[in-house]
Chain A
Amino acid sequence: MIFPRLVVAATGLALASTALAGEPEGARRAELVNMVRQDCGACHGYTLKGGLGPSLLPGALAERDVQLIESVILNGRPGTPMPPWRPFLSEAEARWIAEQLKKGWPE
């Protein structure tokens, strides 16, 4: 049990440092910008105005707080086609995506 805890603590630190550093940078940022348009876009539309999944434009998310959006992204919504993205995103990245979605997704 000690070993997994240590790992969790280490990840926690790593995340905290990305969060402190602010947004993902360089190649990873470009990758996330593209991923949201293309792969989230498979269900939410490339322009994010909706498809099988609802619109993720700022107007549509105005009533949702960042934490909720972050949690939906990481965990998905069981019983709906919204899948969990935890295997591909850190918590800091999911939070960054949530914040950017509320502001309007970068091109």
Chain B
Amino acid sequence: MRRRAALVFAFALALAACAPTAELRGTGDLGVVIERTAGSVLVVETTHRSVLGRVPGLGDLSHASVVFSRDGRYAYVFGRDGGLSKVDLLTTSVVERIVQSGNAIGGAISQDGRLIAAANYTPGGIRIFDSETLQPLSEVPSTYGDGTRRAKVVGIADAPGNRFVFSLFEAGEIWIVDASDPRNPRVTKLLGVGRQPYDGFITPNGRYYVAGLYGEDGLALVDLWHPEQGVRKILSGYGRGEKPLPVYKMPHLRGWAVAGRLAFLPAIGRHEVLVVDMDTWREAGRVKVHGQPVFAVAQPGGRRLWVNFAFPDNGVVQIVDVPSLEVIRDLRPGRAVLHLEFTPRGEQVWVSSRDDNVVVIYDTETIGELARIPATHPSGIFFTARALMTGF
């Protein structure tokens, strides 16, 4: 008995010691910053622009992506090494962690929030997990051609109806997986979508899936209301027959900009952002930019576009004025800018500089610097507002 009393006492002390962090709080202003070489994430908040804690032990995050539970409390972190970690932002700790493949590229969370799908390079395919426990539910191998090989899965996105949509790099296919019965997913395959799809994204309304093609100058478009109509090639021949410039880093399409009826897409091998009218899916303009674009993100509200670039031009961020389609500012936040993320209403943008070990925060109105947060080789920045958006 005495032993137990002592334990209880110790526990109470421990609780008292953590009391300040146990304060009740919401998660709407939280987020994570990936520290790619350290295998950790920083849990951050955007109201006071501070770090709440560091969560280590997440494996190889040299390519990492994050989705959030629908309540904005948990971050699911997908690592390069197939690691899938469920991080509690409130306690800044790992609550579940599995290694689900040998080499992964990212993942998605289902419309109802119950399923996590991880997209894998080796072995190629997707695996579906219970978002509560990370227990495996099913697997869809990306077998193609004569059935002996598996393609690398790229560009996974969640679509309405608990569907996951993704592309097969080597196969040139887009697959739509209906996971409404998660132990028996049903696959619809769209073949011959174009050469070497390298990434994809879904429009904010969840209707259109777009895959970027490395092997040809055009993109593949699927209307998810009418998958039976197959794939439509858009912006074909945007290279106008000119020899493409070398691409030192693949653009990332998730989070690519949509502003009003315009979508902004990266050209491959051209230092241009392509503008497409989503009513007709025809070209509506182009913006000449500083290098090979990697991310172009629309400031919430859609008035401006912020663009970063591949090596060797990755020290620059350009701001494009959407109405005039002109570059209005060049910023130099630091060496090797890997990502940028806006707060939900767009008053701040956080920009990571890998080689300067810093996240630089800008006021989007004045374009002045607000703060700097030290981080070890920071890459992706993800705020919880993504929990509420299709395709994030």
Contact = CB atoms under 8 A, between A and B. Distances in A.
B246 A46 contact: no
A42 B81 CA distance: 14
B63 A51 contact: yes
A72 B105 CA distance: 24
B169 interface: yes
Interface string B214-251: 11000000000000000000000000000000111110
Contacts, number: 55
B199 to A, nearest CB: 10
A52 B153 CA distance: 10
Contact of B103 (A42, A45, A76, A83): A45
A84 B246 contact: yes
Contact of A52 (B81, B215, B250): B250
A50 interface: yes
Given A45-B63, A47-B62, A51-B80, A39 B250 contact: no
A95 to B, nearest CB: 20
Contact of B169 (A41, A50, A52): A52
A38 B250 contact: no
A54 B78 CA distance: 20
B164 interface: no
A50 B246 contact: no
Interface size range on A against B: 10 to 19
Contact of B152 (A39, A45, A52, A84): A52
A74 B152 CA distance: 26
Given A39-B311, A45-B62, A47-B60, A81 B103 contact: no
B386 interface: no
A38 B62 CA distance: 9
B326 to A, nearest CB: 29
A43 interface: yes
Interface in B26-51: 36-37
B338 to A, nearest CB: 9
A7 to B, nearest CB: 22
Contacts of A34: 355
Given A42-B250, A52-B250, 19 more contacts: A39-B311, A42-B249, A42-B311, A43-B249, A45-B62, A45-B63, A45-B80, A46-B36, A47-B62, A47-B80, A50-B103, A50-B121, A51-B103, A52-B152, A79-B215, A81-B214, A81-B247, A83-B246, A83-B248
